[in-house]
Amino acid sequence: MKRRFSRTTSRFHRRAPLQPGAAPDTAWDQPWDVAVLGGGNAALVSALTAADHGARVLLLERAPAVFRGGNSRHTRNVRCAHDAADGYVTGPYPGAELRRDLDGVGSGPSDEALADLTIAESRSVPEWMSEHGVRWQPALRGTLGLARTNRFFLGGGKALVNSYYRTAQRAGIAVRYEASVQGLEWSAADGGTCAAVLVDTPAGTRRVTAKTVIAASGGFEANIGWLSRYWGDAARNYHVRGPRYNDGTVLDLLLRAGAERAGEERGFHAVAVDARSPKFDGGIATRLDSIPFGIVVNAEGRRFYDEGEDIWPKRYAIWGGNIARQPGQIAYALWDSQVQGLFLPPMYGAYRDDTLAGLSRQLGLDPRAVTATVDGFNAAVDQGPGGDFTMAEQDGRRTEGIDPPKSNWAQRLDTPPFYGVPMRPGITFTYLGVAVTAGARVRTADGGTFGNVFAAGEIMSGNILSSGYLAGFGMTIGTVWGRIAGREAALYARG
């Protein structure tokens, strides 16, 4: 009855624009070629590619428009193989070198064929991105030593996401915000086919039918409950660097429906962030760069890891895990006035005192324990080989006769005033995802594939890297696999 009424009145709706929101949203009723679940880089690339291939596309972003874009909001660059320098990269980056870099992180590529496919496809990514509205930042100084290998988005990830949403609008892609996928309906056809997507919206639950579904909804890094399954109460002390919307609902739905897993289940990438920062969505600004300049102690005032292991920022990813394993999941970076000002200033400032004991009290640490730790550290510096202190390279200034050692940049911590900042693990992303074919089709645990379900981005990045981190490569995976998923889904949907 209701449906018939709306059908008879629909012509009037088209002719005379009503008040905003008065017309029924027809996006929920019509059958789509492609439904994209997610609203970040991989989702947008999937949607744009599917539209380029003639598909009618609906994109479902669970965040409100102002927070759209998932983790991509906080990204900054993309790592692609290229043959020569241009205005945006300072030198060649051969595919073989990218492959070597990939081999060098975590346990290396989880599927060599898919990794090589990703690298080969990455060559055409920058041009594709430019064609779809992305703009680039000229290679500037201070780009973390990545100026040769990585292209930086002008204005960063949110600017990139904004550009893609504008392009999507021009391409006629329907975008719905605050559209949170809560269920997938399955039919037995073709090895398991997704028949409909159930979506929570501010106006109630909607049932969307689409010939194909692309899951591009990221991991579960913002789902403290899920993280607690592996890490217990410690997970409650983690900070989540991306939006609070990344709770892995779609990943969970796919795994429950029988998708094959890819990527380290318990794995996550985490860096040291300021303990005073927000629980969610602190992004890039809350990270701390001071660690190699001084020492790090835990809540008991003891050192626990080699602060001078490798050059920053290569080792910056290891400290999230280091801190996560300490009591109370908290640690304190300490330094003195000799190095103050040599690194990115913490956005919340630093605690400061003329004595170590005073600084310890400000930080809530036992002054005697901290003083004993620093005395022991200073003695170990004195026994080391000494030499020039320089952050330009591993300077070989190491401690001697202390465990853990500080292998580089070891310098007495003795010149007041002293500085300190409390740190927490800040989770960037999780590794667990769904396995895919070279056509981005989601594989099932029984050895087959789903008929019409594809995946792109973080939700399938475990196919390429099961652990570890290579700066800018997440965006490469999202773009490469968004293009594959969007193309394959469009071809499938259009027969």
Partner 1 sequence: MPADDPPRDPMPTDDLFARAVFAVEADLFAEARRQLSVCNACRYCAGYCPVWPELELRTDLTDGDLGYLANLCHDCQDCYTACMYTAPHEFALNPPQVFAGLRADTYRRYAWPRRLPAWLTGWRGTVAVLMAAAALLIAVSAAATGRLLSATGHHPGGPYEIVPYALLLVLAGAPAVWCVAVLAVGAVRYWRDIHGPVADLARPRTWAAALVQAARLRHMRGGEAGCDYPGDAPSPARRRFHQILVYGFGLCLASTVSAAVEQDLLGIGPPYAYRSVPVAAGTLGGAAMIVGGAGLLALKARSDPARGTEGMRAADYALTVALLTLAATGLLTLAVRDTAAFGPVLVAHLAAIMVAFAVAPYTKFAHWLYRLLAIYKHNLNPPGRAPAR
Handedness of CA 381, 384, 389, 392 (dihedral sign): negative
Entry field: residues in the chain: 495
Residues 6+ apart with CB under 8 A from 104: none
Binds partner 1 by CB under 8 A, chosen from 118, 212, 237, 298: 237
Binds partner 1 by CB under 8 A, chosen from 17, 20, 21, 142: 142
CB of 69 to partner 1, least distance (A): 8
349 belongs to the binding site for partner 1 (CB under 8 A): yes
284 belongs to the binding site for partner 1 (CB under 8 A): yes
Residues between 239 and 258 with contacts to partner 1, criterion CB under 8 A: 244-245, 247, 249
Binds partner 1 by CB under 8 A, chosen from 31, 54, 94, 138: 138
Q: Which stretch binds partner 1 (CB under 8 A): 156-164, 294-302, 304-312, 448-456?
A: 156-164
CB 212 within 8 A of CB 398: no
424 belongs to the binding site for partner 1 (CB under 8 A): yes
**Residue 90 or 193 with smaller CB distance to partner 1:** 90
CB 149 within 8 A of CB 126: no
Show the site string, 116-135: x = touches partner 1 by CB under 8 A, - = not. Answer: -------------------x
203 belongs to the binding site for partner 1 (CB under 8 A): no
CB of 66 to partner 1, least distance (A): 7
Binds partner 1 by CB under 8 A, chosen from 1, 140, 188, 392: 140
DSSP string, 84-108: S--SS-SS-B-HHHHHHHHHTSTT-
152 belongs to the binding site for partner 1 (CB under 8 A): yes
The pair of structure tokens assigned to 449 is 């594939």
Residues 6+ apart with CB under 8 A from 72: 40, 41, 42, 157, 160, 161, 475, 478
CB of 162 to partner 1, least distance (A): 6
The pair of structure tokens assigned to 249 is 């609902």
The pair of structure tokens assigned to 331 is 């640690």
156 belongs to the binding site for partner 1 (CB under 8 A): yes
224 belongs to the binding site for partner 1 (CB under 8 A): yes
The pair of structure tokens assigned to 5 is 């009424």
The pair of structure tokens assigned to 63 is 């965040």
**Residue 278 or 404 with smaller CB distance to partner 1:** 278
166 belongs to the binding site for partner 1 (CB under 8 A): yes
Size, binding site for partner 1 by CB under 8 A: 58
The CA-atom distances, in angstroms, between 434 and each of 90, 97, 127, 351 are 36, 27, 28, 44
418 belongs to the binding site for partner 1 (CB under 8 A): no
Rounded to whole angstroms, how far apart are CA atoms 252 and 259? Answer: 9
CB of 199 to partner 1, least distance (A): 15
The pair of structure tokens assigned to 318 is 């290891």
DSSP string, 288-304: ---GGGSEEEETTS-B-
Show the site string, 66-85: x = touches partner 1 by CB under 8 A, - = not. Answer: xx-----xx-x--------x
Cβ–Cβ contacts within 10 Å for residue 286, how many? 23
Q: 3-state DSSP call for residue 335?
A: strand
**Residue 31 or 155 with smaller CB distance to partner 1:** 155
Binds partner 1 by CB under 8 A, chosen from 54, 104, 327, 345: 345
162 belongs to the binding site for partner 1 (CB under 8 A): yes
**Residue 227 or 435 with smaller CB distance to partner 1:** 227
276 belongs to the binding site for partner 1 (CB under 8 A): yes
Rounded to whole angstroms, how far apart are CA atoms 47 and 484? Answer: 11
**Residue 50 or 359 with smaller CB distance to partner 1:** 359
Q: Which stretch binds partner 1 (CB under 8 A): 21-29, 279-287, 407-415, 481-489?
A: 279-287
The pair of structure tokens assigned to 256 is 């429950």
DSSP string, 146-180: -TTTEEEBTT-HHHHHHHHHHHHHHTT-EEESS-E
Q: What are the backbone angles phi and psi of residue 211, rounded to the nearest 5°?
A: -65, -30
287 belongs to the binding site for partner 1 (CB under 8 A): yes
232 belongs to the binding site for partner 1 (CB under 8 A): no
378 belongs to the binding site for partner 1 (CB under 8 A): no
Rounded to whole angstroms, how far apart are CA atoms 495 and 474? Answer: 31
**Residue 352 or 412 with smaller CB distance to partner 1:** 352
The pair of structure tokens assigned to 307 is 């602060």
Binding site for partner 1 (CB under 8 A): 66-67, 73-74, 76, 85, 90-91, 135-143, 147-148, 152, 154-159, 162, 166, 222-226, 236-237, 244-245, 247, 249, 275-276, 278-279, 281, 283-287, 341, 344-349, 422, 424
